[in-house]
Chains A and B, each alone.
Chain A
Amino acid sequence: SAVISQKPSRDICQRGTSLTIQCQVDSQVTMMFWYRQQPGQSLTLIATANQGSEATYESGFVIDKFPISRPNLTFSTLTVSNMSPEDSSIYLCSVEWGRNEQYFGPGTRLTVT
């Protein structure tokens, strides 16, 4: 299985600021995904990040608000820009591992005040 770490684990940020979340995997992976989980809700895909190409965003998510980098096969970042209280969520990265496994990082719990 893949071991995934995320930084920071949690943060409290002020409205209008930005936060960059890091996702590190202990093995090289092709596909990485970023999800958002709003309080009391299920997980929603923000974007798919492949190394060497632009991230592919889901409907309702735009690059200006959630820029993503994928500089190599073990690392990715998600930035939450110009934050508002509605951005308070858990942000999770995940990786595809073979045909039938997908693993998640421990998540970043963001509170925007």
Chain B
Amino acid sequence: AQKITQTQPGMFVQEKEAVTLDCTYDTSDPSYGLFWYKQPSSGEMIFLIYQGSYDQQNATEGRYSLNFQKARKSANLVISASQLGDSAMYFCAMKTGRRALTFGSGTRLQVQP
């Protein structure tokens, strides 16, 4: 069975600083994908970044980067130069053979001016 763990219920960061959101996972499937989503108060799920289990390099998308440590089974999201608009819930998720996503419990990020 797949499991995603996010141990930070809430995080605060100052505007313009970087922040790391933690995510660890567990699966016996050698092929998997890791996703991060942002959910603002409106409720929509915004896809941020993807990392495949066989990808050699860490994924980056603009201000978002994924610190993938396969041996530790961690896939932390790094947001650089935080903005007020980054305040939201962030979910880590995993896809394996069954193709649907398994989600972690989420981290609420608040960016302070």
Contacts and interface: CB of A to CB of B under 8 A. Distances in A.
B44 A107 contact: yes
A42 B33 contact: no
**Of B42, B43, B103, B104, which is in contact with the most chain A CB atoms at under 10 Å from its CB?**
B43
Interface residues of B toward A: which range? 20 to 34
B104 A42 contact: yes
B13 to A, nearest CB: 22
A109 B41 CA distance: 12
A42 B91 contact: yes
B40 to A, nearest CB: 11
**Of B52, B95, B100, which is in contact with the most chain A CB atoms at under 10 Å from its CB?**
B100
- The B contact surface, by secondary structure, is strand
- The A contact surface, by secondary structure, is strand
Contacts of B100: 33, 45, 48
Interface residues of A, number: 22
B45 A104 contact: yes
A101 B106 CA distance: 19
Nearest to A102: B101
B12 interface: no
A73 interface: no
Given A33-B100, A45-B100, A107-B43, A101 B105 contact: no
A100 B50 CA distance: 6
Given A45-B100, A104-B47, 9 more contacts: A43-B103, A45-B102, A48-B98, A94-B101, A96-B99, A101-B47, A104-B44, A107-B43, A107-B44
7 closest A-B pairs by CB: A104-B45, A100-B50, A42-B103, A43-B103, A107-B43, A106-B44, A45-B100
Interface of A: 31, 33, 37, 41-45, 48, 90, 92, 94, 96, 99-104, 106-107, 109
Interface of B: 33, 35, 37, 42-45, 47, 50, 52, 91, 93, 95, 98-106
